[in-house]
Structure 1
Amino acid sequence: MDALFKSLADPARRTLLDALREQDGQTLQQLQPCLDMSRFGVMKHLGVLEDAGLITTKRVGRFKHHYLNALPLQEAIDRWIEPLLVKPAARAVLDLKSQLEGTSPMSKPDFVMQTYIKTTQDRLWDALSDETNVAHYHFMASHATREGARTTMFLPDGTELMSNVLLTSDPKSRIECTFEPNWEGGGAPSRVIYLIEVEGDFIKLTVEHYDLTFPVVPGEGVADGWARWAAGLKTWLETGEPTHFGSRASA
């Protein structure tokens, strides 16, 4: 938390976060005009934000793209502010329009999120790959079933929420699958990659979401859904208590 608040104390770094909120995935060259300083100065500020976990990066070819990682801020809000707010029992799922066509292994992700979980590589892999674990942490789905490569998630009333088809996987390190929302207006399938890396006693989980056809807005829509999904997964793996950060009401 100290690094988080220290990084936010500088107005230049807040300006960079605002720029990424307006347009995620920008390069250093794109971000430099936001600040009246040298390329090296902007690079140093980006490094502080990355060390604090407020941004994450993805290198595509010669370019390094920077993404706003709202999860640390969401965790701070959940810790001190969320208990003071009264929220509705149910929250409408926003329209997520996406497509799978025309993607490339070198394409730039539309959304990137990272979190660190105090667990083992085996436990995180099982949580992501075994459909029976969905019930322990998903913010909306009450259960899931698998048929071949397709996993389908359901609301408590039995309505299909979404499904995904496994495309490729490297055991305990990488999963790539489709993202196929079944709610009204969900759009065509997009693509998600989960990256698992061991860092001491923690596991770094990176989520990369590709082929979205709408801007990603922090705190809304797909970004909000991923934050709730990750918070439930992290809490369940670290405490053993099933946790659901969101509505589990039937549609």
Structure 2
Amino acid sequence: MDAIFDALGNPHRRKLLDALRQRDGQTLSELEATLPVTRFGVMKHLKVLEDAHLVVTRKIGREKFHYLNPVPIQQVSDRWISRYAAPLVRSMSDVQRQLEGSLPAMSATAPIHVYELYIKAPPQAVWEVLTDDARTPLWQKSNMACRTDWRAGGAITFLVGDQPVIVGELVEVDPPSKLVHTFSARWSEEVAADQPSRVTWEVQPVGENVCKLVLTHDDFGGETATSRQVSGGWPEALSRLKTLIETGEPLLVPPASAAA
């Protein structure tokens, strides 16, 4: 975690992360306007953030887009914020967002949410957990079940009790490296009005018994209620998934409502 703290220790790098939080998927030219330094200086700061996995990049055509990856920060939170303090911290963060007012603008032309993490396990181990409906409650919300027909064209449904909260269709199933499915949120009337989006899981071996997991959630059709709301859930779910795969034990994170 030293790389994360070193990256966050510089105010210029924090400003770049703030800029990506306000509008994800920016090019180097756009981010240059954020800092009073040279283009080379911005590139150096972005390289530090990439090395700490706080920023991930994607090439789309001739452009290279930069995305905020909050998963490492979530892992710091999981390690250092106690299960008693976590609900209070979340509540304070929610209040801050409400006071700040406006929601961050989203890019309609590039992937909206890109998350990247390294897992100490071979790709097959990651794939087996990811595609095992019986283990879904261990890395998603504990009250969330999954029912899936594991084939291209098959249905995938996440449920709380008997109520579907996410429904979709498997677009691509390529074990153990790639899984693509559509994502239609149903947990509120607001998100149910949105068009289906797309979730892509990519598992890449990077060494002996180590792999990189990249999750891209895109194709929202612009800024929508779904695109805003999923950004809070994915980092925690991915942190839970990493812990489960590496230790065999679920990561227990209390809900915000548990605060006394």
TM bucket (normalised to shorter chain) is 0.7 to 0.9
Provide the TM-score with structure 1 as the length reference: 0.83
**1 CA distance for matches of 2:82 and 2:62?**
41
Of 218, 228, 238, which residue of structure 1 is paired with 2:246?
238
Specify the alignment match of 1:94 in structure 2.
none
Specify the alignment match of 1:49 in structure 2.
49
CA deviation profile, 1:95-138 (whole Å, cap 9, x unmatched): xxxxxxxx9xxx52111111111112111112223333313221
Specify the alignment match of 1:199 in structure 2.
206
Provide closer, same or farther for how the CA distance between residues 245 and 179 of structure 1 changes in structure 2, counting only shifts above 3 A: farther
Amino acid at match of 1:197: Q
Query: Secondary structure, in 3 states, of the residue corresponding to 1:178?
Result: strand
Higher relative contact order (CA 8 A, sep 6+): 1
Tell me which protein shows more helix as a share of its residues: 2
Of 170, 190, 196, which residue of structure 2 is paired with 1:189?
196
Specify the alignment match of 1:150 in structure 2.
155
Equivalent pair of 2:32/2:42 in contact (CA under 8 Å): yes
Alignment of 1:26-45 (within 5 A): 26-45=26-45
Equivalent pair of 2:185/2:226 in contact (CA under 8 Å): no
Provide closer, same or farther for how the CA distance between residues 216 and 20 of structure 1 changes in structure 2, counting only shifts above 3 A: farther
Amino acid at match of 1:175: L
Provide closer, same or farther for how the CA distance between residues 224 and 151 of structure 1 changes in structure 2, counting only shifts above 3 A: same
Provide the TM-score with structure 2 as the length reference: 0.80
Amino acid at match of 1:120: P
Specify the alignment match of 2:140 in structure 1.
138
Deviates more, 1:203-212 or 1:76-85: 76-85
Percent identity (aligned): 37
**2 CA distance for matches of 1:217 and 1:75?**
24
Specify the alignment match of 2:69 in structure 1.
69
1:140 Cα deviation (Å)?
4.9
**2 CA distance for matches of 1:231 and 1:39?**
34
Of 112, 115, 120, which residue of structure 2 is paired with 1:110?
112
Provide closer, same or farther for how the CA distance between residues 183 and 83 of structure 1 changes in structure 2, counting only shifts above 3 A: closer
Name structure 2 gaps, 5 residues minimum.
92-107
The aligned length equals 232
**2 CA distance for matches of 1:230 and 1:160?**
21
Provide closer, same or farther for how the CA distance between residues 86 and 116 of structure 1 changes in structure 2, counting only shifts above 3 A: closer
Provide closer, same or farther for how the CA distance between residues 24 and 82 of structure 1 changes in structure 2, counting only shifts above 3 A: farther
1:153 Cα deviation (Å)?
1.6
Provide closer, same or farther for how the CA distance between residues 150 and 217 of structure 1 changes in structure 2, counting only shifts above 3 A: closer
Specify the alignment match of 1:100 in structure 2.
none
Equivalent pair of 2:87/2:254 in contact (CA under 8 Å): no
Amino acid at match of 2:14: R
Provide closer, same or farther for how the CA distance between residues 181 and 206 of structure 1 changes in structure 2, counting only shifts above 3 A: same
CA deviation profile, 1:37-65 (whole Å, cap 9, x unmatched): 22111111100000011111111111111
**2 CA distance for matches of 1:21 and 1:38?**
22
Equivalent pair of 1:134/1:141 in contact (CA under 8 Å): no
**1 CA distance for matches of 2:8 and 2:172?**
38
Equivalent pair of 1:26/1:66 in contact (CA under 8 Å): yes
**RMSD of aligned alpha carbons:** 2.8
Amino acid at match of 1:166: L
**2 CA distance for matches of 1:211 and 1:72?**
24
Name structure 1 gaps, 5 residues minimum.
92-102
Equivalent pair of 2:183/2:196 in contact (CA under 8 Å): yes
1:244 Cα deviation (Å)?
4.9
Provide closer, same or farther for how the CA distance between residues 58 and 246 of structure 1 changes in structure 2, counting only shifts above 3 A: farther
- Aligned structure 1 segments of 4 or more residues deviating by more than 6 angstroms: 215-218
**1 CA distance for matches of 2:252 and 2:136?**
10
Equivalent pair of 1:144/1:154 in contact (CA under 8 Å): yes
